[in-house]
Structure 1
Amino acid sequence: MIPEDNRFESDPTDVLPEDPGLPDGWVAETPDGHDRATVERLTELLRDHERAGRGWAGSGEEDVLVEVSERGAAMRENLVVRDPAGRIQAWGSVHDRAEGRMLFVHVVDRELDEPLADRCSDVLFEWAEAQARSVGAARGRSVQQIDTGSFADDERQHRWLADAGFEKVRTWWQMSRSVEAEEAELVPDPERWERKGVVFRLVERQGDGMPDEADLRSIHDVLEGAFTDHFNSAEETFHEFIHRLREDPGHRWDHWWLAEIVREEGDHVVEPAGALVGTVSESATGPAGSYVSYLGVLESARGRGVATGLLRTIIADAAARGRDRVGLEVDADSPTGADGLYTAMGWGTKYVTESWHRDVPVS
């Protein structure tokens, strides 16, 4: 299920000026995702970036490998800036997320002097803009969006984004809920249970352990339908969707649930109504947690307790696995009031992030 070929320019010299304005001896180049020292340094940069922005680090080498290893090469490109000693001082990554939407990771060493940090930042933005034009042209777009993020308290990142022409467009609450061992009894069986004509079940597995493709397509269809009118929704093909989610370090097939409405009038009919894609969030200091990557309910099925049932399912599953928490992200500006459901079920905001966008004319 590999998507189409990479639509980015892989050679930085093709998209950056001959002189990008770096000091003598500094270079901008593509990192070697096979090099252990490179992966370790990028992990260090990312963790320092997280500590500065929210007070603690959560990422590890697996999160970096998603960006720089061969498994991410179909949809991503990377750039690093090295000082004369060869030490990486800045890192940018672009991800062809869906038609019209390019994600951008922008990380600069926190110990650099301000003028040097500013110049490294400028190089990353110049490169990302050129990559946006490249991927936009390959997709036949006249305008390509760059979508990047920031922690709400990261003033340095805010300044750079605003100076580069980005606009803050959304705020996100990163929420967490503690899990108690007795909550394993919240539902009869996380693998399959039923309530008021709605069946909640894991995706079915084939003899080789792989999930049933029909179930995966049902989940994709539900999520595409549920998020059609949501902020910055962009159509994503089934193959792009599966490829991207399988890249997640916390991906597990036994964390994908479907909710189906069983209609008994006349012929026995089962209709997909909701879907939850969960992942594992590892911790270096304690038990792993579960994370709700996606939760969607079709409009035709709302009001039947589908979202509540799916959330109770992942809580019960986490408790049965000995986990201590379930996390999720909610749009702070959403008109649907989803945060009310999460708060009522015990979730609280742990930290806040922001989305910043810039539209780049492709021509």
Structure 2
Amino acid sequence: MPEDQPEETATVTSAVGGTAGSPATSAPAVVARGEAAEGVSVGTADRPVHERVAAPDVVLPPESVAGVTWRPLALDDLVPLHALCARIGAVDHPDRGHALEVVRDDLTSPGIDLARDSIVGVDADGRFVAWGLSHLGPTRVSLVRVGVPGGVDPGRRGEGLGRRLLDWQRARGEQHLAACDEVLPAGLVTDVDEDALDARAALRRAGFDESRWWTELRRDLAEPIERVALDPAVRFVTMTDEWVEATRQARNDSFRDHWGSQPTSEDRWGRMVGAGTFRQDLSLLAVARPLDDPEAAEQVVAFVLSDVDPEGWAALGRRCAYVEYVGVRRSWRGRHLAQSLLASTLEAHVAEGLEVTVLDVDSVSPTGALGLYDRAGFVAARRSATVVRAY
């Protein structure tokens, strides 16, 4: 999954403020999911990462088993890899789409070296049956994170492929960590759905802990939408190119106190808003002059960003929108900006002919996200966990 997410697999999506709802579960914060938070502890470290991690000099491909051989991935593998991801997703997380563009984003993440950071298992007929990455995240502000997404074709599970894949990901990940000088928490990190029991068991056996839980919320757009009055100090605009960088800055400010979030780089942000599924016309912003400088230029103070992937609608059985981010700058919280923006966004989704709006939220969010979404008509549907092997 891409860094941050995936912002590296879907994602902590809400930093809004308000009155907290009841958490669906509580788990200790070990290290962060995606990007890590400025000023928020995600673990402690008193020595450089390279002093804490021993790694092999050479990482060999996994041992062949059951007629499956292994090699690095290449961009030419995008279509068969996408087909494998769709087969895995149909079992492990059937309520989500499996866009080709998401797979492409995985293979082209900043800093990834496919020849060394990827692996695919191929059967005797040339069919992809397992895959994985072990990719060092380029943003290391308060966490050194190696993403280790991947999976095994449901029809080939129980043959030892997953164990060999995880062994390879761990060895390559430890190579990455052993080359890092930062005095920061560090870990191998991925995400897993609550219902993916085989994958969860395999990760536990490999030393990963379920460190944080996320709840997928859905909103039936056939239900009435209650409008929320807009604070007169701001105005709404639809996102356009001129607001892209200002929204990134607002995102980084909004999520500074959020578990698992560290600053999103210009490159990573550009990849997200430039994706074919991202919808600027369905992404709404609240803009205003800074409270402490009324003569300054307007800035983005709150935002709701939407993603629409028609490719996934057939599998999902409905026309669905995904809310990538909901956020409010910390100095603007308590003004119901998220509620106003979210209600208007839902209305825009209805006007687009969509049937359901989906988002993910931290199950123990400190900003009142669960309460906010409950009042907006969202209901809990599924849960997933960030799993971490910490060093």
**Cα offset, 1:182, TM superposition:** 7.7
SS of residue matched to 1:357: strand
Paired residues for 1:212-223 under 5 Å:
212=242, 215-223=243-251
Preserved contact between residue 181 and residue 320 of structure 1 (Cα < 8 Å): no
- Runs of 5+ in structure 1 lacking a partner? 4-13, 188-192, 205-210
Flag the 1:243–1:64 CA change in 2: closer, same or farther, 3 A.
Answer: closer
**Cα offset, 1:140, TM superposition:** 4.0
In terms of mean alpha carbon deviation, does 23-32 or 158-167 score higher? 23-32
Flag the 1:112–1:332 CA change in 2: closer, same or farther, 3 A.
Answer: same
Do residues 31 (structure 1) and 73 (structure 2) align?
yes
Flag the 1:34–1:301 CA change in 2: closer, same or farther, 3 A.
Answer: same
Flag the 1:167–1:113 CA change in 2: closer, same or farther, 3 A.
Answer: closer
- Point out the structure with max Rg over C-alpha: 1
Match of 1:170 in 2: 212
Flag the 1:22–1:45 CA change in 2: closer, same or farther, 3 A.
Answer: same
Q: CA RMSD in A?
A: 3.2
Query: Relative CO higher for 1 or 2, CA cutoff 8 Å, sep ≥ 6?
Result: 2
Flag the 1:218–1:154 CA change in 2: closer, same or farther, 3 A.
Answer: same
Q: Which amino acid aligns with 1:199?
A: R
- The Cα offsets for residues 309-345 of structure 1, whole Å up to 9 and x where unpaired, read as 2211211211121111211101112233211110111
Do residues 48 (structure 1) and 91 (structure 2) align?
no
Paired residues for 1:337-348 under 5 Å:
337-348=368-379
- TM, length-normalised to structure 2: 0.72
Instruction: Output the CA distance in 2 between the equivalents of 1:123 and 1:240.
Output: 31
Q: Which amino acid aligns with 1:303?
A: G
The number of residue pairs the alignment matches comes to 325
Preserved contact between residue 181 and residue 319 of structure 1 (Cα < 8 Å): no
**Cα offset, 1:269, TM superposition:** 6.0
SS of residue matched to 1:171: strand
Q: Among the aligned pairs, what percent are the same residue?
A: 24
Q: Which amino acid aligns with 1:308?
A: Q
In terms of mean alpha carbon deviation, does 193-202 or 227-236 score higher? 193-202
Match of 1:334 in 2: 365
Higher strand share: 1
Q: Which amino acid aligns with 1:152?
A: E
SS of residue matched to 1:284: helix
- Among 89, 111, 133, which residue is 1:93 paired with? 133
Instruction: Output the CA distance in 2 between the equivalents of 1:246 and 1:84.
Output: 38
Preserved contact between residue 248 and residue 264 of structure 2 (Cα < 8 Å): no
Flag the 1:72–1:266 CA change in 2: closer, same or farther, 3 A.
Answer: closer
- Among 336, 339, 348, which residue is 1:308 paired with? 339
Do residues 151 (structure 1) and 193 (structure 2) align?
yes
- The Cα offsets for residues 45-68 of structure 1, whole Å up to 9 and x where unpaired, read as 323323333455631433333334
Preserved contact between residue 83 and residue 89 of structure 1 (Cα < 8 Å): yes
- Among 303, 319, 322, which residue is 1:288 paired with? 319
- The Cα offsets for residues 267-313 of structure 1, whole Å up to 9 and x where unpaired, read as 48634321222111321265532211011111110111111122112
Match of 2:288 in 1: 261
**Cα offset, 1:266, TM superposition:** 6.9
In terms of mean alpha carbon deviation, does 171-180 or 233-242 score higher? 233-242
Preserved contact between residue 234 and residue 288 of structure 2 (Cα < 8 Å): yes
In terms of mean alpha carbon deviation, does 160-169 or 286-295 score higher? 286-295
Match of 1:64 in 2: 103
In terms of mean alpha carbon deviation, does 104-113 or 257-266 score higher? 257-266
Match of 2:252 in 1: 224
Q: Which amino acid aligns with 2:232?
A: K
In terms of mean alpha carbon deviation, does 145-154 or 58-67 score higher? 58-67
Paired residues for 1:105-254 under 5 Å:
105-112=149-156, 114=158, 116=159, 118=160, 120-136=161-177, 140-141=181-182, 144-180=186-222, 186=227, 195-204=231-240, 211-212=241-242, 215-247=243-275, 249-254=276-281
SS of residue matched to 2:274: helix
Q: Which amino acid aligns with 2:202?
A: W
Instruction: Output the CA distance in 2 between the equivalents of 1:342 and 1:82.
Output: 43
SS of residue matched to 2:261: coil
- Among 284, 292, 300, which residue is 1:272 paired with? 300
SS of residue matched to 1:169: strand
Flag the 1:124–1:197 CA change in 2: closer, same or farther, 3 A.
Answer: same
Instruction: Output the CA distance in 1 between the equivalents of 2:110 and 2:157.
Output: 32
Do residues 351 (structure 1) and 372 (structure 2) align?
no
Flag the 1:61–1:340 CA change in 2: closer, same or farther, 3 A.
Answer: same
Preserved contact between residue 131 and residue 152 of structure 2 (Cα < 8 Å): yes
Instruction: Output the CA distance in 1 between the equivalents of 2:329 and 2:174.
Output: 35
Match of 1:83 in 2: 123
- TM, length-normalised to structure 1: 0.77
Instruction: Output the CA distance in 1 between the equivalents of 2:193 and 2:121.
Output: 23
Match of 1:207 in 2: none
SS of residue matched to 1:86: coil
- The Cα offsets for residues 329-363 of structure 1, whole Å up to 9 and x where unpaired, read as 01112233211110111001121111101235xxx
Preserved contact between residue 274 and residue 298 of structure 1 (Cα < 8 Å): yes
Match of 2:59 in 1: 16
Match of 1:103 in 2: 147
